[in-house]
């Protein structure tokens, strides 16, 4: 075997061992330097919601990896459909991009994958005043532990920056986005206009008690400041001002600050979570981990609520009215 190939093979094996240890034992030292951890009350509510979900076993961790890669069989997932690379797209969409390639509703979320991760909509506690809740949190990762696979980490370490946006489903809903973000990917110059993009469930209303008055924002899954994608329909969803500014923005600013301070990279995934065929998502899951130090400095997995205090939202349509509370 040539010396270069042998070296690459040894390096790959060593990386896999380190990443596997970090991902599945959670034993990396150092707490993530991010937002303040959730309150004791919120952590207790989450624990109660997830009390019926057992800890992930080695077999379940393997199933997660195979479901993510699309290599699990129907018997593995008990009849669930895999959302492998065939349902993903790396091309930039346009404002009216709901095409014949739209993904069927039943492929928007893989319930077997969500169960294997122990994260699904019914496990999220009701909103209690905090814009987010940490998922799979522990003493080492108080802001949650992400579910990235070794393949995703290897792609980040080998390719550097990339971005991958899922196709819209047959209802025109935005799905998940995955990216490796670094200095090379950050948005440059002035952000362009996105007012012609109308994501699923877009029924804009204005309320005097909301800063800026508009209820809805065209929320980027991967922020323009992080990836430079602006009017890509596959990267925009109907989100409240509260979700965009209070929920997601602090996490995005932490990623941006980390990259600017270190010049390093962050593996980042954003997943909207819908209730059946509703057009507006109930919230979004944010997963991030610094690449070069395997999450020692930056690591979180949080669910941000897509709601607006004092507004009642019909998530099936996006229509809304003041709640009067």
- Region 161-185: mean pLDDT is 95
Give percent of the chain with pLDDT exceeding 90.
56
Q: 24: buried, middle or exposed (CB in 10 Å: 19+, 13-18, 0-12)?
A: middle
pTM of the model: 0.70
Instruction: Return the pLDDT at 193.
Output: 87
What is the C-alpha separation between 233 and 86, in angstroms, rounded?
19
What is the C-alpha separation between 190 and 186, in angstroms, rounded?
12
Element of type H or E holding 304: strand 299-305
User: Domain 31-75+87-322 belongs to what topology?
Assistant: Extracellular Endonuclease; Chain A (3.40.570)
Instruction: Return the pLDDT at 324.
Output: 75
pLDDT in tens, 19-53: 444 444 333 333 333 344 445 555 555 555 544 44
- Region 253-277: mean pLDDT is 96
Instruction: Return the pLDDT at 168.
Output: 95
On average, the pLDDT of the chain sits at 75
Question: How would you write 170-231 as a 3-class SS string?
Answer: CCCCCCCEEEEECCCCCCCCCCCCCCCCCCCCCCCCECCCCCCCECEEEEECCCHHHHCCCC
pLDDT in tens, 195-210: 999 999 999 999 999 9
pLDDT in tens, 236-253: 999 999 999 999 999 999
Burial 86-114 (b: 16+ CB within 10 A, else e): ebbbeeebeeebbeeebbeeebbbbebbb
Instruction: Return the pLDDT at 46.
Output: 54
- Region 97-103: mean pLDDT is 38
Residue 207 CB partners (closer than 8 Å, separation 6+): 213, 215, 310, 311, 322
Confidence of residue 122 (pLDDT cuts 50, 70, 90): confident
Domain ranges of the chain: 31-75+87-322
Instruction: Return the pLDDT at 121.
Output: 86
Confidence of residue 144 (pLDDT cuts 50, 70, 90): very high
Nearest to 33 by CA among 312, 261, 188, 311: 261
- pLDDT at residue 307 tops 60: yes
Confidence of residue 9 (pLDDT cuts 50, 70, 90): low
Instruction: Return the pLDDT at 123.
Output: 87
Give percent of the chain with pLDDT exceeding 70.
63
């Amino acid at each position: 075997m040539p010396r270069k190939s042998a070296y690459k093979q040894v390096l790959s094996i060593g990386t896999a061992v380190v990443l596997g240890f970090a991902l599945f034992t959670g034993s990396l030292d150092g707490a993530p330097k991010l937002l303040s951890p959730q309150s004791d009350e919120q952590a207790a509510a989450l624990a109660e919601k997830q009390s019926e979900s057992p800890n992930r076993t080695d077999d379940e961790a393997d199933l997660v990896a195979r479901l993510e890669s699309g290599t699990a069989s129907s018997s593995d997932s008990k009849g669930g459909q895999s959302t492998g690379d065939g349902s993903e797209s790396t091309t930039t969409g346009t404002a009216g991009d709901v095409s014949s390639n739209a993904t069927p509703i039943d492929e928007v979320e893989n319930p077997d994958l969500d169960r294997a991760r122990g994260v699904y909509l019914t496990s999220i506690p009701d909103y209690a005043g905090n814009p987010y809740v940490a998922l799979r949190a522990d003493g080492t990762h108080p802001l949650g532990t992400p579910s990235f696979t070794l393949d995703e980490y290897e792609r980040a370490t080998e390719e550097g920056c990339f971005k991958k946006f899922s196709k819209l489903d047959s209802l025109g809903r935005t799905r998940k986005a995955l990216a490796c973000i670094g200095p090379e990917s950050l948005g440059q110059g002035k952000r362009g206009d996105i007012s012609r993009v109308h994501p699923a469930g877009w029924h804009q209303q204005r309320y005097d008690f909301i800063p800026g008055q508009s209820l809805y924002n065209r929320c980027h899954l991967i922020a323009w400041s992080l990836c430079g994608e602006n009017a890509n329909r596959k990267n925009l969803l109907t989100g409240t001002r509260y979700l965009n500014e209070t929920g997601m923005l602090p996490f995005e600013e932490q990623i941006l600050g980390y990259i600017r301070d270190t010049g390093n990279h962050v593996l980042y995934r954003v997943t909207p979570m819908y209730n059946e065929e509703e057009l507006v998502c109930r919230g979004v899951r944010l997963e991030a981990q610094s690449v070069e130090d395997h999450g020692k400095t930056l690591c979180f997995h949080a669910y941000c609520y897509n709601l607006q205090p004092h507004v009642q939202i019909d998530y099936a349509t996006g229509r809304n009215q003041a709640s009067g509370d």
